[in-house]
């Protein structure tokens, strides 16, 4: 009676799909490719621990505040992600965000710039700083660590000079501050979620068609359906939770939009392939005809741009720019977030989504400890420990791939 032939074929197909995913994941783990699984498990553990310690952690109000808190640091982390793909490091992004925030504040308050003009000018300043630093790194061959360490110190001094004796510039309500104080109405939020779901499905189907046309292995429809279902669950949960508070924050949409755009550029364009090639083996990339100097220059320019954009979001959220803007743990969290999210410190491996996931981990830990009233000393030690674990996993994964 209960024979395999009596089972619904759709159930068999679903079972085979899940089994193929598990088998594929097992092979990836054996070769040192852990993917985002450790990050997802980490977020679940963090949620369980802090919700058990304080029932306010998973409330819509706190989760909305958490997303607002991580938008600025996460945006800076996107630039760090690009730099790490090259196997380099940029220690100046915190100071660049601070000096660009100071430029923004002075332009708006002292020179009556409009919001759009001030944002564009600030972005150009970030690009100029990145171009200046890249001239020493890409053209003169000075180690990025040294150049950006000098930038960390020098741009902080320029920030103090721009702010002058006043020390703090308070931004007027509206304009710049609307970036982090605006929330999408329910109809717009759900429409945006629907668009994301449809566009993602169209992209998956188009990729499957192209791979089949090229006679390459392609995902089965059941696999695409499973990925689509997971996306619907995640986005649906975000929409439901946010709608119970003030709605989806505009700052989250901006940050997530940057992540998606950068990931598309990195994974689906020749430029992205060149970045991975340079990060994987710079000498092989040079022999393949890739303009290594130009790639390295462009990456540090983009790092400067995203640092400036992060400084704008930070100023918007705080309604002010001060001498401490961009300092403190901004640099630490920006780098830690990308590494924790799965981007390799050794270059040539990672996705832009590591900036999003890693920032959520760092932000959740910080937010949870704030709810528990823990001292900054404890927060720093725990964050450092999490970073050490992430780097250790990355090192072990690299050994697994080389074995």
Rounded Cα gap, residues 14 and 354, in angstroms: 29
**Across 32-42, average pLDDT:** 69
In this predicted structure, the answer to whether residue 374 has a pLDDT above a threshold of 50 is yes
Res 332: pLDDT: 86
350 versus 5: the higher-pLDDT residue is: 350
Res 348: pLDDT: 76
- Mention every residue, 6+ apart, whose C-beta is less than 8 A from residue 89: 83, 144, 145, 148, 335
In this predicted structure, the answer to whether residue 403 has a pLDDT above a threshold of 80 is no
Res 301: pLDDT: 96
- Mention every residue, 6+ apart, whose C-beta is less than 8 A from residue 220: 17
- Mention every residue, 6+ apart, whose C-beta is less than 8 A from residue 351: 263, 266, 267, 342, 343
Res 164: pLDDT: 86
Which tokens sit at 129?
Answer: 């700083």
DSSP strand pairing (248-249 vs 320-322): unpaired
Distance from the first to the final alpha carbon of the chain: 49
Phi, psi of 64 (to 5 degrees): -65, -45
Domains annotated on the chain, with CATH: 38-185+247-391 (1.10.3470)
In this predicted structure, the answer to whether residue 5 has a pLDDT above a threshold of 50 is no
In this predicted structure, the answer to whether residue 29 has a pLDDT above a threshold of 60 is no
Query: What length does the chain have?
Result: 403
Per residue in 112-146, pLDDT tens? 899 999 999 999 999 999 999 999 998 898 999 99
Res 33: pLDDT: 54
| Residue indicated by tokens 């979620």 | 193
Burial 325-363 (b: 16+ CB within 10 A, else e): bbbebbbbbbbbbbbbbbbbbebbbbbbbbbbbbbbbbb
**Across 7-16, average pLDDT:** 49
pTM, whole model, 2 decimals? 0.87
Res 231: pLDDT: 87
162 contacts 197 by C-beta, under 8 angstroms:
no
What pLDDT band is residue 216 in, cutting at 50, 70 and 90?
Answer: confident
Average of per-residue pLDDT values in the chain: 86
Res 112: pLDDT: 86
In this predicted structure, the answer to whether residue 24 has a pLDDT above a threshold of 60 is no
**Across 378-391, average pLDDT:** 79
**Across 151-164, average pLDDT:** 93
Per residue in 158-207, pLDDT tens? 999 999 887 889 999 888 999 999 999 989 999 999 999 998 898 888 88
In this predicted structure, the answer to whether residue 49 has a pLDDT above a threshold of 80 is yes
403 versus 164: the higher-pLDDT residue is: 164
């Amino acid at each position: 009676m209960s024979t395999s032939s009596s089972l619904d074929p759709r159930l068999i197909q679903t079972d085979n799909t899940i089994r193929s995913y598990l088998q594929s994941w097992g092979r990836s783990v054996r070769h040192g490719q852990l993917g985002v699984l450790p990050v997802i498990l980490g977020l679940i553990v963090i949620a369980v621990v802090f919700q058990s310690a304080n029932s306010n952690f998973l409330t819509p109000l706190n989760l909305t505040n958490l997303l607002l808190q991580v938008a600025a640091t996460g945006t800076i982390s996107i630039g760090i992600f690009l730099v790490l793909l090259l196997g380099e490091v940029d220690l100046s992004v915190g100071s660049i965000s601070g000096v660009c925030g100071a430029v923004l504040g002075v332009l708006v308050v002292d020179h009556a710039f409009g919001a759009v003009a001030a944002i564009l000018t600030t972005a150009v300043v970030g690009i100029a700083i990145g171009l200046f630093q890249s001239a020493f790194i890409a053209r003169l061959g000075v180690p990025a660590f040294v150049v950006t360490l000098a930038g960390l110190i020098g741009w902080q001094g320029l920030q103090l000079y721009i702010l002058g004796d006043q020390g703090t510039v308070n931004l007027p309500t509206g304009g710049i501050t609307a970036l982090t104080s605006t929330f999408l109405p329910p109809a717009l939020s759900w429409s945006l979620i629907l668009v994301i779901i449809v566009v993602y499905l169209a992209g998956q189907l188009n990729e499957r068609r192209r791979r089949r046309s090229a006679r390459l292995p392609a995902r089965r429809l059941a696999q695409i359906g499973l990925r689509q279902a997971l996306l619907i669950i995640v986005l649906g949960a975000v929409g439901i939770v946010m709608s119970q508070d003030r709605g989806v924050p505009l700052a989250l949409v901006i940050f997530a939009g940057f992540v998606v755009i950068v990931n598309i550029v990195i994974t689906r364009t020749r430029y992205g392939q060149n970045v991975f090639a340079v990060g994987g083996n710079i000498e092989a990339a040079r022999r393949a005809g890739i303009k290594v100097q130009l790639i390295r220059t462009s990456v540090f320019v983009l790092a400067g741009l995203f640092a400036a954009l992060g400084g704008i979001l930070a100023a918007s959220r705080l309604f002010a720019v001060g001498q401490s803007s961009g300092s403190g743990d901004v640099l630490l969290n920006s780098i830690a977030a990308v590494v924790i999210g799965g981007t390799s410190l050794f270059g040539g491996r990672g996705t832009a989504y590591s900036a999003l996931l890693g920032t959520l981990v760092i932000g959740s830990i910080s937010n949870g400890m704030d709810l528990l009233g823990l001292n900054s000393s404890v927060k720093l030690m725990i964050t450092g420990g999490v970073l050490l674990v992430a780097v250790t996993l990355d090192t072990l994964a690299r050994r697994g791939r080389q074995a």
